A and B are shown apart, each in its own frame.
Chain A
């Protein structure tokens, strides 16, 4: 008996402690999950401003968006190769790039998130760094980046040289070589360095001095404590200005100091560790939770007990974590803590670790405990009945207190004594007294005012265990037992009201006073307020309005007309219409094994099934399951009792398990906006950051098959969100994304599209904004309007050109005809007219004046000869075969020779060879010839010369004709421009040429024609 009582006492104590320090619950992400984690050895994590989690693994850099990991490699052709190797650190560089440390390769670089360009930053130390030295990359609050090399010192990133250089940035004294456990105190603008051989060194940014134990002008307390600080390996100052210091001498010692240097006892718990361990620099979350981690070490600091809680690791860890080394601890934007370990990536569940969700499994260490009922006293204390351990009595803040229930227990035989501790039911009457139903029909009435208990039994129970106690509005107490009896107590006596024949586990008195019972295997009974009359019975075999099954465990009232009955599935019984509706596994229930039901103050229905906890929202009909990711791990075992406290907490309890939470803790916040996480064209990922920075995504006509990946970057909500997307121009309405956080579009025609996506949580709450991406698929250029309009423009231009050519051709013909007509008119018409007149005159004088007639006939002969010559010239000039200069020259030679020989004038005619390559048009040819002809004629007729010289040459792209004689000459200035000279000048002008006469009496005549040619 003493042993049993001792066990009870131990259990009570441990329960209290465990409530205070029940630890975080972890969720693991590993390579086995199939979401793309490249390696279970995760060294580093970092969450960027958008919410993506960047992960450094043994196989390089990855990004996690909640649904998948993307492996990153450098795609830019000018980039260095991003190693697929141990990525030990990720440090933010700026909003758009990350520092990466591949310290095992001694390689460090910057990775640009927009361009995927990776740039290696070389190390330029002043002396050699030992092979195998470890490195730590770190950035201070000013943005300066440093690289600590063990047993060497600190290198500083020089932006100009784009290298890590040894510039002794912190002016550390000789021999002070920092370990990796340095810390920047942003409050005092100091940098703390742990130099294990020398102790601590402090660099003061404002004075640019280094303080050590040997030089401590500011009397920094910790520097004076050289004995403790020797061998310092890690230091950290938390938000409460406590300074944590780990030192290695023979083993790792842990110290905590206040700001005066006084040693605090806050390291309690840190020394508890069954394994060899090494601890690294602590990490403090925004909520002030301090984490200590390292090799075989993971602790978090409990502010209430001012001690550390050690997380056991291994397959039996109650927290779901297994590791050998925790490399990094990081808090994300939602407040979840992420652990990078050598056995995968872990993150904490919301609410866990903060008493928001008390979720405790009582293991074999305490012998186990079976909770059977829960009661909140009017004064706020919580009582839990147990099978065999009596009553657990807890204060409002869940701390154990002694209620003295069994203090005055009379001396019973051993069996009865035990039976009074085998408690099953709790009820507090309106008079304040507490009824406790026990094994074998015993019951206890405890008066909390005087602390006295009465240990009773009554024949009405037939020694059958009292399973449930409740009360009605009239003050009657209603009890049920395992035998299946419904018993009432009116303050004076017990009365057997109904005998159901099987165990009654729940009595519900609804707001109308009707009594609802669920005898095992017999369905659901509705009794009159006095319990005597069965008003309605619902069974699984009824022809209509059937129950899902006859055996139910719990009953509750949802609203004024609906009773909910957990019998296998959930049965909604409308007590007014008598209709029954089911909520089953097919509707989203975790299982058709409902054990407990409880309606909270907001009208949500909470259910415990053998598959865990879920919540039903009657207004939307949606079911939300809760599990490990929500910090709920033991719900499936809390099947015996439930309670909704006046403080708004829900409690479920069962064999070795207690679940206690505030429903609002699990309620979804406003869902976050959805982020476009990736954009994949065919099978190639496109750098999404730079893509989305554009006003619209422009794709070529061949890039019309792509995938868009999206996610709300909240790792708490991600499993409870439903995504809806729509592509305008493709989708007619919103499309629900069923468990797929991406959508494929294939062979989209060219045009403008807008992709929209939003998410909705389980309660129907939508994200604030609809995320949109404008996409433009360019048509092939031959289908663009600009190309088509350009073609039309060119067609119009070509039409115009052809039209112009045709018009010009017609004009040329017209011009030719006009010229021939003019020439015929000018040359032939006037000559024929003259001949006509002369012939008339000859005719009239033929008989009277033969001499005159002979003169007339002579003139007629001359004119007709001239006309023939002119006709010959016209025909010659029109004839295309005469277009070449050879023909022109030949004709000129022929004409001159014939004319000058007749006058016995010597003729010298020379032509440059280059002239024969020229081509003159018809008019120019004719004009050129006629100028020559006129000049020769003049020489023959009037010069009296014995010699005529003619030259034709090409000079500076001008055709030059020279005709000169050695005749009598004439006075060129006084000569009138009769028809001959005048015509020559006109023809020269028509050819845009220059005509020059040089002549003086007695000095012969020089005629020069100079015309431009092509």
Chain B
């Protein structure tokens, strides 16, 4: 029987889950010419404050979120691994697979609705979000195409995370065995998968290392509340922010064709992400306590999953819509980047609150049962 986690650790996990998801809005709301940013992506547009800021935020300092979410997921899953494999997988199917299908369908429905108006349809077209590269209206794609998008290539592209998480959970016994028996080879292997953005069979390689780290922390009874003495917060923040800044400049200035650029950006990315996780996890305890003492914040954290499911493709479409209407306004790109995520955040929270109140059963299915125990219910 594993030891129960402390109240503060529980609050901390909840706080960071919410923060990581809320910051997703800024990651998915960037509007650089490159529409798909990878850790080593170089930028083929002039270096301006806007382009620097967007890259620095979306492909720099906010890159710690998904790894941190995977660590939290691994840790929590390992905490409850005494429930039996079948029970646990069944629970995860309900809390991950069903929401995957629901939010994928909602993404399709939003897209279809936007395609009904010429202006919003233009925004959808220009966002080029379709993972299959086919930006025709859904009326032209046919039911087969829509079905494929629903199940395999969701327009709500962020759902890859929960699909990957579900598969990790299915493989949990194996991962736990590897983590506890052969931790060093396993971590080297999974670290390489993450660093090179590789996948391992059907398993997404981008989160396996951090998911395994979460399991290892739990199994080794690592005290996540107390910072190890050897960790310097100064160094952690310096590496986190400093390397993100350097990497951003390099993405604009280095030769995009060079393999050295690819290697440099990848290394800087990896180091800054790990430093960022350490800096953010150990460096904001006061903020965590301050926030989690406020009932309204705790109430907001209840909508984490709802925000996660609903924000994309909305944030991308709205960004394009802003472009259509405000492209003559000075600094419209920066303004869009700063304003649109906020609008979508508020919309998601309001929709979440309304759904939870009016159709709680739907809310329960859509969130996998998350978000019912909040301070302001």
Contacts and interface: CB of A to CB of B under 8 A. Distances in A.
Interface in A137-184: none
Contact of B246 (A698, A778, A793): A793
A813 B37 CA distance: 51
B255 interface: yes
A800 B253 contact: no
28 contacts: A694-B257, A695-B44, A695-B256, A696-B44, A698-B255, A752-B46, A784-B249, A784-B253, A785-B252, A786-B246, A786-B249, A786-B250, A786-B253, A786-B254, A789-B242, A789-B245, A790-B246, A792-B242, A793-B238, A793-B242, A793-B243, A796-B238, A796-B242, A797-B235, A797-B238, A800-B232, A800-B234, A800-B235
B249 A785 contact: yes
A789 B257 contact: no
Interface in B40-57: 44, 46-47
Contacts of B254: 786
Interface string A687-711: 0000000111010000000000000
A26 B215 CA distance: 84
A785 B234 contact: no
Interface of A: 694-696, 698, 752, 778-779, 784-786, 789-790, 792-793, 796-797, 800
Contacts of B257: 694
Contacts of A790: 246
Most chain B CB within 10 A, of A696, A752, A786, A789, is at A786
Contact of A800 (B238, B250, B255): B238
Prevailing SS type, chain B contact patch: helix
B235 A789 contact: no
Given A789-B245, A800-B235, 19 more contacts: A694-B257, A698-B255, A778-B253, A784-B253, A785-B249, A785-B252, A785-B253, A786-B246, A786-B253, A789-B246, A793-B238, A793-B242, A793-B243, A793-B245, A793-B246, A796-B238, A797-B235, A797-B238, A800-B232
A796 B237 CA distance: 11
Interface of B: 44, 46-47, 232, 234-235, 238, 242-243, 245-246, 249-250, 252-257
Contacts of B255: 698
B236 to A, nearest CB: 11
Contacts of A694: 257
Nearest to B237: A796
A153 to B, nearest CB: 47
Contacts of A784: 249, 253
A778 B250 CA distance: 12
A629 B253 CA distance: 49
Contacts of A752: 46
Contact of B249 (A789, A797, A800): A789
Contacts of B252: 785
Contacts of B243: 793
Nearest to B252: A785
A792 B244 CA distance: 13
A784 B232 CA distance: 29
Contacts of A786: 246, 249-250, 253-254
B224 to A, nearest CB: 25
A752 B33 CA distance: 16
A785 B238 contact: no
Of all A-B residue pairs in the complex, the 6 with the closest CB atoms, nearest first, are A786-B249, A785-B249, A793-B242, A786-B250, A789-B246, A752-B46
Contacts of A696: 44
Contacts of B246: 786, 789-790, 793
Contacts of A793: 238, 242-243, 245-246
A330 to B, nearest CB: 37
Most chain B CB within 10 A, of A696, A752, A785, is at A785
A130 B338 CA distance: 79
Contacts of B245: 789, 793
A779 B254 CA distance: 10
A1004 B345 CA distance: 82
Nearest to A803: B234
A205 to B, nearest CB: 40
B45 to A, nearest CB: 9
Contacts of B234: 800
A784 B246 CA distance: 10
A790 B243 CA distance: 8
